[in-house]
């Protein structure tokens, strides 16, 4: 037995454990900071007003959950990527802490906001492990690509039916279905279905797509047989933009379509022609729907040199959310007001700061330095995902990992640019940080698939589990 212990120690995921130390310390310090913020400034710090065990239970539970998952990975998936989960854990923990901090200050107050976000993260970890154990052979996803496409179409149709129930056709609808006390967003699973379908379809037809035998004027397109499914997925994205009137969702799905098309074919002409089609349909939507014009007009609001037009847009509510977010960001400065010391929530401050505008709340309290750190975490997460794709041995694995990673990249880019008034604001969530159960669960499914791909690749390369 003594001779076996060094082998067990060497096989342990020490790198992952070491990377978990920093997030755990950050969580404990942050929850202590939030507790101390509530103490009267005239009171002195003593043993009577230090955080109690009850206050620390949510964070301790979160740390225990991630360490438990870490132990499971060390026992069953020791060769899986050791950087991905600590990055996801850090972002998820910040999301729970931010929900805990914002909940009491919302209008009306929501004391249980942080607790619900914690529950969603714990459920997400369970789904993450279930994905790892059930997807022993990911190649079966390729065999059921059309089943994934049909399921995605069903999800799209449910969203479409929900759209027709809205009486005001000149306003954006919400991609949300209410099932009893639960609210579910079909698009969170739809984007995964689209990536699975494209990864399988493009890996099978990549040679035909790369040749482009069909000529239409100066363009060289794939044959009609291969072009049909691609055109159908492109049409779904355009329908989200024109019919469902979910601008953020349309950009995300169409962006996935462009990323997967380029990764699978390597043809830039396909991407450019698809962008031209998007511009045409975008102009149609801009002409037909007032809310699209309104959102693009908000981007042009001059916040520095305030004009009567800016004032009119602000008082009408069109630019209120974005301008308030910019004020929150500017008040944070370089180092921020401190966690719990800002005023991003409440009446008259940033609306929907717990989900759509969570980046501005973080910017006010953590400052520019904190925002750079968060963006750096996302960049590392995206880097690890693409690295898993590069190291994969099969084309389907490569396209699947790259497509799923592109979901994180596109969502982060679109919503961050909207918060900073660089792009029209959309309602898609910031991965792992925004409040919301559907997004959290779908993101952990994506992480589970990425971890499974990295594990399978390592086993194929080294020849031992």
Among 29-33, 304-308, 325-329, 458-462, the minimum mean pLDDT is found in 304-308
pLDDT score of 16 more than 70: yes
Q: Give the residue from 331, 341, 329 showing the smallest Cα distance to 33.
A: 341
Query: What six digits make up the tokens of 116?
Result: 């619900």
CA distances from 60 to 25, 93, 121, 433 (A): 11, 11, 14, 19
DSSP labels for 278-335? HHHHHHHHHHH-HHHHHHHHHHT--SSS--HHHHHHHHTTTTHHHHHHHHHHHHHTTT
**pLDDT for the residue numbered 402:** 95
Residue 46's pLDDT band (cuts 50, 70, 90) = low
C-alpha–C-alpha distance, residues 279 and 291, integer Å:
17
- The span from the CA of 270 to the CA of 258, in Å, is 8
Question: What are the tens digits of pLDDT across the range 129-153?
Answer: 999 999 888 888 888 888 888 888 7
Q: Report which listed range, 210-214, 221-225, 298-302, is most confident.
A: 298-302
Instruction: Name the residue among 244, 240, 243, 206 with its Cα closest to residue 226.
Output: 206
| Higher local confidence (pLDDT), 182 or 68 | 68
Half-sphere exposure of 108 (CA within 13 A, CB side): 1
pTM summary value: 0.89
Q: Which residues contact 268 (CB under 8 A, 6 or more apart)?
A: 262
325 in Cβ contact with 298 (< 8 Å)? no
pLDDT score for 383: 96
């Amino acid at each position: 037995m003594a001779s076996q212990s060094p082998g067990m120690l060497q096989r342990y995921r020490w790198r992952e454990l070491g990377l978990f130390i920093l997030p755990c310390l950050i969580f404990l310090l942050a929850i202590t900071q939030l507790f101390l913020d509530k103490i009267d400034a005239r009171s002195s710090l003593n043993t009577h007003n230090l955080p109690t065990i009850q206050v620390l239970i949510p964070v301790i539970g979160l740390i225990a959950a991630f360490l438990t998952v870490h132990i499971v990975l060390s026992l069953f998936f020791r060769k899986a990527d050791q950087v991905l989960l600590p990055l996801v854990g850090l972002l998820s923990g910040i999301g729970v802490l931010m929900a805990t901090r914002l909940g009491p200050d919302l209008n009306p107050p929501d004391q249980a906001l942080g607790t619900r976000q914690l529950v969603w993260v714990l459920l997400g970890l369970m789904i993450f492990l279930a994905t790892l154990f059930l997807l022993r052979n990911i190649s079966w996803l390729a065999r059921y690509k059309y089943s994934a496409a049909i399921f995605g179409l069903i999800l799209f149709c449910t969203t479409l039916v929900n759209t027709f129930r809205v009486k005001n056709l000149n306003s954006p609808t919400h991609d949300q279905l209410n099932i009893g006390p639960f609210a579910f967003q079909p698009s969170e699973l739809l984007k995964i279905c689209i990536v699975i379908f494209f990864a399988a379809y493009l890996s099978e037809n990549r040679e035909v797509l790369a040749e482009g035998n069909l000529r239409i004027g100066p363009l060289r397109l794939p044959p009609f047989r291969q072009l049909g499914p691609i055109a159908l997925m492109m049409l779904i994205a355009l329908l989200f933009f024109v019919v469902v009137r979910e601008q953020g969702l349309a950009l995300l799905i169409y962006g996935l379509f462009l990323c997967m098309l380029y990764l699978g074919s390597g043809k830039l002409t396909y991407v450019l022609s698809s962008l031209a089609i998007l511009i045409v349909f975008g102009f149609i939507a801009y002409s037909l729907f007032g809310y699209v014009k309104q959102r693009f007009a908000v981007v042009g609001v001059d916040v520095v040199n305030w004009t009567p037009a800016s004032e009119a847009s602000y008082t009408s509510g069109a630019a209120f959310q974005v301008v308030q977010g910019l004020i929150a960001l500017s008040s944070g400065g370089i180092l921020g007001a401190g966690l719990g010391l800002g005023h991003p929530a409440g009446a008259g401050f940033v609306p929907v700061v717990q989900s759509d505008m969570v980046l501005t709340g973080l910017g006010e309290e953590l400052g520019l330095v904190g925002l750079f750190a968060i963006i750096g975490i996302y960049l590392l997460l995206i880097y690890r995902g693409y690295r898993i794709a590069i190291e994969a041995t099969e084309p389907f694995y490569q396209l699947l990992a790259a497509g799923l990673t592109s979901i994180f990249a596109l969502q982060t880019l679109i919503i961050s640019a909207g918060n900073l008034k660089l792009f029209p604001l959309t309602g898609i969530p910031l991965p792992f940080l925004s409040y919301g159960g559907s997004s959290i669960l779908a993101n952990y499914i994506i992480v589970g698939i990425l971890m499974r791909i990295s594990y399978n690749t390592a086993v194929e390369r080294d020849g031992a589990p």
